[in-house]
């Protein structure tokens, strides 16, 4: 089997399709953001995720959702690659 260029390398790694690359990018972005505690409004002072206001009646719920940034990264990678 001959591997030529980036496309061949991505195919061998299982990232030959845009959806696979998008999912991987979203997961990596989510892991990095969670490790950094970003975005700050999504976390309490103890580092616990706050609930999302549209689906929770908790008074400490937030309008900002933690998954917005990873999903945006995944969509961008899926559309660009």
pLDDT in tens, 8-65: 888 888 888 999 999 999 999 999 998 887 888 888 888 888 999 999 999 989 998 8
Where does residue 45 fall: left (phi above 0), alpha (psi -120 to 50 degrees), or beta otherwise? alpha
- pLDDT score of 3: 74
For the chain, what is the domain count? 1
**69 pLDDT higher than 70:** yes
Q: How many residues does the chain have?
A: 81
- pLDDT score of 44: 85
- Mean of pLDDT values over 64-75: 92
The answer to whether residue 57 is domain-embedded is yes
Question: Which one is predicted more confidently, 12 or 76?
Answer: 76
Q: Which domain holds residue 31?
A: 17-80
The answer to whether residue 43 is domain-embedded is yes
The answer to whether residue 53 is domain-embedded is yes
The answer to whether residue 10 is domain-embedded is no
The answer to whether residue 3 is domain-embedded is no
- Mean of pLDDT values over 66-72: 92
Asked if 74 and 26 touch (Cβ cutoff 8 Å), the reply is: yes
The answer to whether residue 34 is domain-embedded is yes
- Mean of pLDDT values over 65-79: 93
């Amino acid at each position: 089997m001959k591997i030529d260029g980036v496309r061949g390398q991505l195919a061998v790694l299982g990232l030959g399709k845009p959806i696979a690359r998008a999912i991987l990018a979203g997961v990596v972005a989510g892991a990095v953001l969670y490790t950094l505690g970003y975005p700050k409004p999504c976390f309490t002072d103890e580092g616990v995720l706050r609930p999302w206001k549209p689906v929770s009646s908790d008074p400490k719920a937030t309008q900002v959702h933690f998954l917005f940034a990873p999903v945006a990264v995944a969509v961008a990678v899926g559309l660009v690659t």
